Every structure is written in structure tokens, then in C-alpha cells.
Amino acid sequence: MRKPKNHTKSVEARKQRGDEVAEIQWYFPNELDEVSEILRQEGIIPHSGGTGILWGGMTRIRGLMDVSHLGLKFFRTRDGTIELGAALSYAETATALAESGHLLSRSLRAAATEPLRNRISLGGSISMFPYWSDLMGPLLAHKAEVSLVGANSGTWTLDEYLKNRDLRQNTLITSIRLPDLPWQGAYYRHTRTPTDRPAFSITVLLRRKAKRIEEIRSVVVGCSGRYRRLAGVDQILQGSELPPDPSQLLEESVQKLNIDFPARMGFSTEYLKACAAIELERTLASALESSPKSTTGSVS
Amino acid sequence: MTGTLSINGTELRVSLRGDELLLDLLRDLGYTEVKEGCREGACGSCLVLLEGTLVNSCQVLAASALGRQITTVKGLGTFHQPHLIQDAFVEAGAVQCGFCTPGMVLATFALLKNNPNPTEEQIRHALDGNLCRCTGYVKIIEAVKLAAERMASNA
């Protein structure tokens, strides 16, 4: 008989202490109708790619609901909306959006590594929302919505979903919707090496008419409170006429930035704060330089 | 729990724990060409193809792979009948200790399947999940280019 192994040190540690560690039960629903009933039981969470579940440890999980037979790997564009199935992996999403040069495609292509991009799913990544997420900044900037089934069936803005913990209980994300609009944009991830997790990331989307910025949305992920829309910076820039050299305007707008970071990855709070200000200014400049005719952005 | 796995074309009935990793299951079943490295999805030593898609087997719960097809590096070629990619790695001098090689070969296979003529940047991107601590990557990238050439001329 094969010797059973556990992947998490916490499970092993609990067993060594003599604690009872329950066997994890798996559920394989074929229809969305079955989901609510399964999730009603305590300690059962949806499993798509599983990478976040492994990082989070599994000591409190009683059961896992595999979502691979629910038909949640789809990509649709209609009525000015992009709809992404929640079981799509980062790699599948990046490929689906690559042709349009969508900013989300570029941010996801920069995330993690090739085999992990093949495994990390959109739904799992939203529900776990690690600070290093390369998904959430672009989704929040696009004002994405999530569709849920289970205890809180319906469609919610991503912002609502993240702020209301109750929405996440006994619930499965089935799809993500975002408006299919032509934005200029840029995305920055603060890493030590390209395959590192970002200590923070910055997303900037903007639309402009001639030299006037009509709308701008800046989002930082990885700061204290996990994410923040930079409304103060956006207010300064929105509606402003861009001078031939916008660098002074950008510098002034970033000076109003007041955002905190927890120390992490060997970076101090003060260091991350200083880097965020500099990189925000650069990301704004990069967004202004990106092509206004498409949704193309850049990843640096 | 029990279920079936198809590994390198062979159907196997397996018994596993709900929290068991695919890496551990494969190694316990004798597929030791799937190497155990970091167990964090960072090194690429444990790569396998799951339904043709490159994944870190240390980041896959085995139960989620039940009923699916798994290919390890031995499913591509053998010592006596190596795959063109394996030949290319030997010829290019891309193998030293060999620990990372199964993962490198599978990552190359996954790349060339979708992109038979990759640029160097595309090769680097496709192999960004594989660490080698011996050869320093130059020879590995040369091996991928050589494999692409050989596979194109054999197509």
C-alpha cells in the first residue's frame, strides 16, 4: 500500500500533535443546479485550478467541489460586454484576449510562470485575491462584475463582492463581465525578477479626446487594505488639458498620493510607498503614450 | 477515494487521499521521472502534461486529475527511442545533472506543439517556470531552437 503523503506542513504538524485531520471529500457536479446544495454544507469550497487552495493550506477544508464539469470555460463578447467563464485559466484568458491587445491579456501573461498560468483560474483568483494578483487591478479598473450561484446568486460589481464578505460564503463565481470599451492603458508590477510575485501593481486606464483626458481610472493592488482606486489622482487628471510635455502635471497629481503598504518581500513600508509614487507617475505616462485606437496597454 | 488515471497511455485504477498531490501519487506509482523539487510550483522539476496542458504536478490535487490523461517525460520518448527534443537536449549540451531535464523537455514539447517556430523571447517565456542550477539556460535555449528545427524538418 502506498504511503499517504500530505502536501501542507500544517496538516503534517497537526497529525504529529495527534489531532484528528478529516479526509477531504470531493464533489463533481455536472450541473449548476447541484452547486447550491453542495455549497450549503459547511467547509466545502469550489476547486478550479487549486493553486490558491494549496497556498492557503487545507486544514479547515472538509470538502472540495470540482467545477471542471460545469461548462465554465467560455469566452464571449456581445452587446459591448466581454464575458469570461470563471474556470478559464490565466493562460486561456490571455490567449482569448490577445488579439485585441487587451490590458488584461498583458497583465495575465506577466503573471506567475507558464505552468501556473495554465492552472490558476479566474474565479479562484478572485475569491482568494492574493496581494500579488495580476488579475484584480485590470478587473477593478474596468469595473468588472461577477455572476454568482449559491447562497448569493446574482450579479454584483467586483468592488461589492470584495467589500462584502457575506457574498463570498457558500457561493461559486460562474463568470466575470467587463465592458468592451477602447481604453488606453498601462500595467506595472513591482517585482525583483520577472517571475516574482509583485509586491504591488498599478493599473491605469484612460480615455481621451484630443488633448483632454475624459476619464481615468487608476488602481493599486497590494497596498494596505489590499486594493485602492486612486480617486484623488484621477480627480486631478480627469478633464484636464494635456500640455505638450505632461510630466509636470503627472508629477503634481502623484504628489497627492497618500497610500500605505505593509512591509513585505524584504521591502519596507517607506520603500514601497516611495516606489509606488514613482511608478504611478511612470505608469500614467505610459498609459498616455499607449495607442488611443485600441485597448492596448503595456506591461513593464 | 478511488478512480482511474491514464498515464502515458496506460489506464490505471488508483486509490488516493482527497488532499494528495498528483506529484506524490505519480512518484508512488513508480513514475519517478517526475522529480520532486520545491513543492511550491516554482522550479518546474515536477512538470507533467495534464490533458496536454503543462502543469506543476506539485500544484495539482490528484483527485482533480481523475479520469484525465497524464503524460510524463517517459511518455514522449525512451532511452532507446528518444524524442527529437530529448536528442536535441543531449546534442546541444543542455543536460548536466539532469534533474531539471524532464521538466525542460516537457515545457519545450508544450511550446513547440502550439508554436513550432518560436522566437527566443517566446522560448524564454515558455520556460519561465523551469529552473536549472547547472547549465545556465544558454544551452537549454539552443536545445529548444535545435528541437524546433528538427521537428520542422521531420514534419
* pLDDT tens-place string over residues B100-119: 999 999 999 999 999 999 99
Q: Among A8, A118, A194, whose Cβ lies nearest the Cβ of B128?
A: A194
Confidence of residue A22 (pLDDT cuts 50, 70, 90): low
pLDDT bucket at A6, cuts 50 / 70 / 90:
very low
Same structural domain for residues A193 and A170?
no
Going by C-alpha positions, the residue among B82, B89, B146 that lies closest to residue B118 is: B146
Say yes or no for a CB contact (<8 Å) between B61 and A54.
Answer: yes
Q: Are residues A58 and A27 in the same domain?
A: yes
Question: Is the confidence at residue A10, as pLDDT, over 80?
Answer: no
Range in A200-204, A248-252, A283-287, B129-133 with the lowest mean pLDDT: A248-252
Q: A89 with A19, same domain? A: no
Nearest CA in chain B to A119: B55
**Predicted pLDDT at A55:** 83
Highest CATH level, class, for B2-75: alpha beta
Q: Are A26 and B20 inside 8 Å of each other by CB?
A: no
The stretch A51-77 carries a mean pLDDT of 92
CATH of the domain at A104: 3.30.465.10
Cα–Cα distance, B151 to A226 (Å, whole number): 47
User: Is residue A102 included in any domain, yes or no?
Assistant: yes
- Test B63 with A64 for CB contact under 8 angstroms: yes
Let me know if residue A115 belongs to a domain: yes
Q: Which residues of B touch A120 (CB under 8 A)?
A: none
SS3 A64: strand
Of residues A91, A84, A283, the one with CA closest to residue A185: A283
Report the pLDDT value the prediction gives residue A88, as an integer from 0 to 100.
98
- Report the gap between the CA of A299 and the closest CA in chain B (Å): 14
Answer yes or no: is A59 within a domain: yes
Q: Evaluate whether residue A264 is within a structural domain.
A: yes
Same domain, A165 and A241: no
Query: Does the pLDDT value for residue A19 go beyond 70?
Result: no
Helices B84-91 + B138-154 axis angle, to 10: 140
The model's pLDDT over A213-246, given as tens digits with 9 standing for 90+, comes to 999 999 999 999 999 999 999 999 999 999 999 9
Q: In whole angstroms, how far apart are CA A238 and each of A75, A102, A284?
A: 32, 22, 12
- Residue in A closest to B106 by C-alpha: A115
* A118 and A36 within one domain: no
Domain end: A156, A179, A202, which one? Answer: A179
Chain B: residue whose CA lies nearest to A54: B59
CA distance B71 to B81: 16
Name which residue leads in pLDDT, B60 or A290: B60
Across the strands, what pairs with A184?
Answer: A206
Residue A299 in domain: no
Residue A106 lies in a domain: yes
pLDDT value at position B122? 97
The chain-wide mean pLDDT, for chain A, equals 90
Lowest mean pLDDT among A9-18, A97-106, A184-193, B67-76: A9-18
What is the distance between the alpha carbons of residues A62 and A82, in angstroms, rounded to a whole number?
A: 35
Q: How many domains does chain A have?
A: 3
Our CA angle for A168, A91, A156, nearest 5°, is: 25
Spatial neighbors of A71 by CB under 8 A, at least 6 apart, are A85
Do A195 and A278 reside in the same domain of the chain? yes
User: In this model, does residue A86 exceed pLDDT 70?
Assistant: yes
Q: For the purposes of burial, counting CB atoms within 10 Å of the CB of A282, is it exposed (0-12), middle (13-18) or buried (19 or more)?
A: middle
Q: Check B63 against A26: CB less than 8 A apart.
A: yes
Of A24, A47, A114, the CB nearest to B54: A114
pLDDT digits (tens, 9 = 90+) for A145-204: 999 999 999 999 999 999 999 999 999 999 999 999 999 999 999 999 888 899 999 999
A82 and A58 share one domain: no
- Asked if B129's CB is within 8 angstroms of A50's CB, the reply is no
Predicted pLDDT at A17: 61
* A232 and A163 within one domain: no
| pTM reported for the whole predicted model | 0.93
**Is the CB of A114 less than 8 angstroms away from the CB of B128?**
yes
**Which residues, 6 or more positions from A34, have their beta carbon under 8 angstroms from its beta carbon?**
none
User: Helix/strand/coil (H, E, C) string of chain B?
Assistant: CEEEEEECCEEEEEECCCCCEHHHHHHHCCCCCCCCCCCCCCCCCCEEEECCEEEEHHHCEHHHHCCCEEECHHHCCCCCCCCHHHHHHHHCCCCCCCCCHHHHHHHHHHHHHHCCCCCHHHHHHHCCCCCCCCCCCHHHHHHHHHHHHHHHHHC
Q: Does a structural domain hold residue A295?
A: no
Residue labelled with grid coordinates 481615468: A216
- What average pLDDT does chain B have? 96
Q: How far apart are CA A26 and CA A23, in angstroms?
A: 10
Rounded Cα gap, residues B85 and A285, in angstroms: 44
pLDDT band for position A15 (cuts 50, 70, 90): low
Residues A140 and A157 sit within 8 Å (Cβ to Cβ): no
- Spell out which residues of chain A touch residue B1, defining contact as CB-CB under 8 Å: 26
More confident residue, B64 or A196: B64
On whether residue A225 sits in a domain, the answer given is: yes
End-of-domain residue from the set A164, A179, A194: A179
Per-residue pLDDT averaged across B64-70, rounded? 98
From the CA of B154, how many Å to the nearest CA of chain A?
27
Cα–Cα distance, A119 to A104 (Å, whole number): 17
| Residues A180/A186/A192/A195 CA torsion (nearest 10 deg) | 30
Q: Is CATH 1.10.150.120 the classification given to domain B84-154? A: yes
Cβ contacts below 8 Å, chain A against chain B, sum to 93
Residue A106 and residue A188 in one domain = no
Q: Do B126 and A3 touch (CB under 8 A)?
A: no
Domain extents in chain B:
2-75, 84-154
C-alpha B130/C-alpha A218 separation (Å) is 34
- The cell for A60 is 479547515
Strand partners, A213: A208
Taking only the tens place, the pLDDT of each residue in B111-154 is 999 999 999 999 999 999 999 999 889 999 999 999 999 999 98
Q: Give the residue ranges of DSSP H helices in A133-264.
A: 136-141, 158-163, 165-168, 231-237, 247-255
**Cα separation, A108 vs A119, whole angstroms:** 12
Nearest CA in chain B to A60: B19
Are residues A190 and A103 both part of a single domain?
A: no
Q: Give the residue from chain A lying closest to B23, CA to CA.
A: A7
Subunit contact A64:B129, Cβ cutoff 8 A: no
Q: Which chain A residues are within 8 Å of B72, Cβ to Cβ?
A: none
Domain that holds residue A163: 75-179
The phi and psi torsions of A218 (rounded to 5 degrees) equal -115, 135
Considering only CB atoms, B17 lies closest to which of A23, A53, A112, namely A23
- Say what the pLDDT of residue B103 is: 98
Alpha-carbon distance A23 to B104, whole Å?
Answer: 35
